[in-house]
């Protein structure tokens, strides 16, 4: 089960929660010192934005599609946003061209990025210790070695 928002789990609670996980997780937690542990709440952007562009402002990265770290795609998606935006804005000559480029950026990047936000949210739920973990564990037990 995830730690409720705003609650800080103690290092002893983390050790107990992850005691039966694979090595090296219990060992790393056993050797950790309370004052060296950083804790950060994890959030994603929900609901999805209707557009990454408003007027002449384009959102990229976490501003447009913050996601949980479960897929390791946050920075990659930000780079894809920036590269796409730079490519589309490389040749505009007029404000109308810029507006067209920004709309094209939104059309190219919004749905793929938002799909990854959703997939990462699901992976977070599946990999965690919440409701889906029982199904995950049962599935893993019936898989061949």
Burial of 126 (0-12, 13-18, 19+ CB in 10 A): middle
pLDDT digits (tens, 9 = 90+) for 24-71: 999 999 999 998 988 888 888 889 999 999 999 999 999 999 999 889
Specify the length of the chain in residues.
145
Do residues 118 and 66 touch, judged by C-beta distance below 8 A?
no
Q: Is the pLDDT of residue 129 over 60?
A: no
Nearest CA among 56, 44, 64, 43 for reference residue 109: 64
Q: Is the pLDDT of residue 139 over 90?
A: no
pLDDT digits (tens, 9 = 90+) for 59-117: 999 999 999 988 999 999 999 999 999 999 998 889 999 999 999 999 999 999 999 99
Give residue 21's pLDDT: 87
**Does the predicted model carry a pTM greater than 0.75?**
no
Give residue 1's pLDDT: 56
Distance CA 45, CA 128 (A): 19
Give residue 2's pLDDT: 66
Max avg pLDDT among 3-12, 32-41, 70-79, 130-139: 70-79
Give residue 120's pLDDT: 92
Is the C-alpha dihedral spanning 80, 83, 86, 90 positive or negative? negative
């Amino acid at each position: 089960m995830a730690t409720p928002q705003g609650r800080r789990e103690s290092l002893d609670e983390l050790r107990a929660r992850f005691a039966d996980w694979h090595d090296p997780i219990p060992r790393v937690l056993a050797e950790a010192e309370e004052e060296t542990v950083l804790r950060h709440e994890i959030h994603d952007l929900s609901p999805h934005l209707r557009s990454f562009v408003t007027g002449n402002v384009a959102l990229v990265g976490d501003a447009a599609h913050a996601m949980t770290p479960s897929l390791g795609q946050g920075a990659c998606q930000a780079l894809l946003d920036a590269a796409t935006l730079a490519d589309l804005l490389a040749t505009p000559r007029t404000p109308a061209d810029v507006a067209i480029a920004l709309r094209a950026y939104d059309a190219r990047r919004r749905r793929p990025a938002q799909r990854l936000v959703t997939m990462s949210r699901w992976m977070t739920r599946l990999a965690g210790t919440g409701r889906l973990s029982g199904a995950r564990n049962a599935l893993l037990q019936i898989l061949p070695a």
